[in-house]
Structure 1
Amino acid sequence: MLEKMQDVFAIVGPTSVGKTALSLRLARDFNGEIISGDSMQVYRGMDIGTAKASHEERALVPHHLIDICSPDEEFSAADFQSRTRVLIEGLNLRGKLPMIVGGTGLYVQAALYNYEFSQAGENPKYRQQLLDFAQENGSEALHNRLAEIDPVTAGRLHANDEKRVIRALEIYHLTGRTMAEHQNRSRTSPYNLLMIGLTMDRAVLYERINLRVDKMVAEGLIEEVQSLLHLGCTSGMRSMQALGYKEIIMYLEGKSSREEAIELVKKKTRNFAKRQLTWFRAMKDIIWFDVTPGRGNPERTYQRIYELMEGKFR
């Protein structure tokens, strides 16, 4: 007799599209618990800038992989994969529906598919050569090197995401295959998976992003960054590379005005949303829903998602 595959539901999409509100409602209707699929929500003290679910929302539905690391700790996609797979098994055993909700494409993909991290190994000497190259020629030149051999991965990564750009180049150097090719070989999910994606008219989404950044600033984003700096965090930490934090640090160090920093956060967040959509569009299995306000009936959209989940998990 074949063993039943474990159930997993996922909601993906760009920042500010409305994933949190939908996930809370579905979790209550389907006895679910939410696993944050955001690479920066693991860090304690980084609440406003990472748009964590509020304490009230977390009281309504249990959330996992939030506030599990100090800002000075490293937390990778491989860490997320291993932690999430343990959670998925445990939640299924307890009769709960695991719901991965977030916008970090690599993390979600790694957790939901047979994605192998260790197969490429490491080459510290080559990695140092790439670091030296970036130091001398700039992150853009390093990103261009990746674009020449792996345009798919380069299209998903920002030039400033130096660590992941270097890893993609290292994988090609070690294996002769691009990161995109490795990911294409890891497209089978071990789970009974239903994954939906939320999308929205680009102009409307960008306006929501602008408003969200203004709201974050009003709620104390600048003060949050100041507090982290006082605790000893530095711009060199991986956690401090999160959207909103690096730009505010520049303002606090006198390298830009307050208004310039806020506008830069908005611009970079809009660019990030575009890259998120590029990443998720390349993933299979996602059933997309347009949630643009005024376009269609929100309750009908919810009913369609509800029916999909009912057919998959009940």
Structure 2
Amino acid sequence: MNSRDADDRPPLLVLVGPTAIGKTALSLELARRYNAEIISGDSMQVYRRMNIGTAKLMPEEREGIPHHLIDICEPEHPFSVSEFQKLCTEAIRDIASRGKLPMIVGGTGLYIESVCYGFDFQEHGADEAFREEQRRYAAEHGNEALHEKLAAVDPVTAAKLHANDLGRVVRALEIRHVTGQPLSELQAGARGDEKRSPYRLCIIGLTMDRAALYRRVEQRIDAMLEAGLVAEVGSLLDSGVPRDAISMRGLGYKEIAAYLAGEMTYETAVDVLKRDTRHFAKRQLSWFRHMKALEWVDIDDAAKNNGLFAATCAIIAGKFPMDIEYISS
């Protein structure tokens, strides 16, 4: 590969954006164009039997394009960012070894950045006793109270995490405790210099008018409910998946589980789900704005010009100008 003369790092294409913005459809187009294989960058799609609420693309919908890190563990498993980093790195290596272009597609910012910039989670250390102490605090005082503790020492990270994302809230507090530095500062240092990445990165972020995005979010939730989200959550609970499992704290699952437990009406559960998903989309956009190597594509602007696909291809051509063997015939 001619471009390797100047930089022998393997190329890595990354497509990010908030939920419901249209990453999946675009990723299939790009995969066909660039002979790519897709790696899911979604923290929920790793779980088997959680299909509707995660907007998972079913095998028959993947158009023959290989997808990785989907349906790899049971809902009871506490899947972590470090586990994702390891498996994703292995998948990238495997895809590249077969002459294909690795492409991460998703909206879980921390997971994706951990791979793009090689975050060393072991380097930050661990304190199991401290971690357990934080979990006990949350159990006694509530997740919101623990989230407030994080906001006091690392407001940037706290703003990106929901209070119910207990695992990541605890880990952020643990990193602050062990290193004396906020997780946000450690990540800023890692992402601040693209040369620290083990890959030649092309990171594309999708954005659009906020009100239009929120309408898409609500339409997606309506579609999930029509497709059987309530039955999916009920089936998971009936099979023994505990409500406090990390997987069941995901959007769509915790709200419907509360409805099935009689803790709120169906209408309230749907309203809460739509509200929290809108907030989640806003946090996703906030997270991606801190990724310095990211190239934004506004869907509305692209539609007025040559289209979204053409806009993204132009960015890729600028980042990987000599990788012509990736172009599908």
TM-score (normalizing by structure 1): 0.95
Q: Quote the offset at 1:182 in angstroms.
A: 1.6
The aligned residue for residue 310 of structure 1 is: 317
Instruction: Tell me if structure 2 keeps the 8 A contact 1:291–1:298.
Output: no
Q: What residue ranges of structure 1 are gaps of 5+ in the alignment? A: none
SS at match of 1:47: coil
The aligned residue for residue 294 of structure 2 is: 286
The aligned residue for residue 150 of structure 1 is: 154
The amino acid across from 2:308 in the alignment is: T
Number of aligned pairs? 313
The aligned residue for residue 253 of structure 1 is: 261
* Alignment RMSD: 1.7
Counterparts in 2 of 1:264 and 1:298: CA distance versus 1, 3 Å: farther
The amino acid across from 2:179 in the alignment is: T
Q: Distance in 2 between matches of 1:30 and 1:244?
A: 34
Instruction: Tell me if structure 2 keeps the 8 A contact 1:116–1:186.
Output: no
State yes or no: 1:23 paired with 2:31: no
State yes or no: 1:130 paired with 2:137: no
SS at match of 1:193: strand
2:107 pairs, out of 100, 103, 108, with 103
CA shift digits 1:123-148 (9 cap, x unpaired): 22222332233233332222222112
The aligned residue for residue 73 of structure 1 is: 77
Q: Quote the offset at 1:295 in angstroms.
A: 6.9
Q: What residue ranges of structure 2 are gaps of 5+ in the alignment? A: 325-329
2:11 pairs, out of 7, 11, 24, with 7
The aligned residue for residue 327 of structure 2 is: none
CA shift digits 1:218-277 (9 cap, x unpaired): 001111111111211111111111110111111111111111111111111111101111
Q: Quote the offset at 1:101 in angstroms.
A: 0.2
Q: Quote the offset at 1:154 in angstroms.
A: 1.0
The amino acid across from 2:317 in the alignment is: E
Q: Distance in 2 between matches of 1:13 and 1:27?
A: 17
CA shift digits 1:91-143 (9 cap, x unpaired): 11111111100000011001111211111222222223322332333322222
Aligned-residue sequence identity (percent) comes to 50
> 1:147-296 to 2 correspondence within 5 Å?
147-187=151-191, 188-292=196-300, 296=303
Q: Quote the offset at 1:89 in angstroms.
A: 1.1
The amino acid across from 2:277 in the alignment is: T
Instruction: Tell me if structure 1 keeps the 8 A contact 2:18–2:281.
Output: yes
Higher relative contact order (CA 8 A, sep 6+): 2
Q: Distance in 1 between matches of 2:246 and 2:225?
A: 22
Q: Distance in 2 between matches of 1:41 and 1:117?
A: 22
The amino acid across from 1:42 in the alignment is: V
Q: Quote the offset at 1:60 in angstroms.
A: 3.0
